Homo-oligomer: A and B are copies of this chain.
Amino acid sequence: MQGWEAVRAEVLRRIRARDWAPGALIPGEEALAVEFGVARATVNRALTALAEAGVIQRKKRAGTRVAELPVRRARLEIPVIRLDVLGRGLPYDFKLLADRLALAPVPVAARLGLPEGQPLHYLETLHLAGGRPFVLETRWLNPAVLPSPPPDFAAISVNEWLVTHVSLVSGDIAFLAEPASAREAEVMGVAPGTALLVAERTTHGTAGSVTLVRLAHAPGHRVMMTF
């Protein structure tokens, strides 16, 4: 290995070996460039990568110091459900259970940052893997920010239409565990109260809040991430 990756590796080694302790200031880019016999830009590339990884913290004028508690970051690749199912080697299908305009309940409107009493598009989709319930998706869509003619959601899943036709800018996702409600139990064919992994997602586009989704996963479902 050579080049900026070599610099990154060596700096990382010294931090792990505690040559440079947590919280300590490390030599400046210029000094490291001289020591390693490379240009400053190369050192900069290496340190920028380490800073993105959370290993060091950099501030102009103040210099670079080793992070006190190295924050570990894991990346979640949010899959399109269809591909998630196919990736497990199972045939995919879905059923549209509800598709109507409805007034948003207060907590929904609040989460989307919309005024109360606004009519939203409500969709309920049951995703199937190998014919068995996989995920129950309940979704509120803000029609105001969508391209005018919504397609037939019985033909293409909402999710896939959204990611390819709407500019999604930012959002957040939360995982929690909840007992299956009566409706969930019925639709998914499990006992009421069964522990379900639930993902709640809000998504914002350039024109405002787009959608609030709740995904209730079948028992035993695992969401995996690596770091």
User: A167's closest neighbor in chain B, by CB?
Assistant: B16
Q: Which of A68-92 contact B (CB under 8 A)?
A: 69-80, 83
Q: Are A177 and B195 in contact (CB under 8 A)?
A: yes
Contacts of A76 in B (CB 8 A): 73-76, 225
**How often does this chain occur in the complex, in copies?**
2
Q: Are B175 and A223 in contact (CB under 8 A)?
A: yes
What are the interface flags for A161-194 relative to B under an 8 Å C-beta threshold, 1 for contact and 0 otherwise? 0011001101111111111000000000000011
Number of interface residues, chain A, beta carbon within 8 A: 48
Q: Is A160 an interface residue (CB 8 A)?
A: yes
Q: Is A100 an interface residue (CB 8 A)?
A: no
Q: A219–B178 Cα gap in the complex (Å)?
A: 8
A73-B75, A173-B224, A197-B197 known; 15 other A-B pairs, CB under 8 Å? A69-B83, A70-B164, A71-B78, A72-B168, A74-B75, A74-B76, A74-B172, A170-B226, A172-B227, A175-B197, A176-B223, A177-B197, A177-B217, A178-B195, A193-B195
Chain A residues proximal to chain B, CB less than 8 Å? 16, 22, 54, 69-80, 83, 160, 163-164, 167-168, 170-179, 193-198, 206, 217, 219-227
A-B contact pairs, 14 of them (CB 8 A): A54-B77, A69-B80, A72-B77, A72-B168, A73-B75, A74-B173, A76-B76, A170-B227, A172-B227, A173-B227, A175-B197, A175-B223, A177-B177, A177-B196
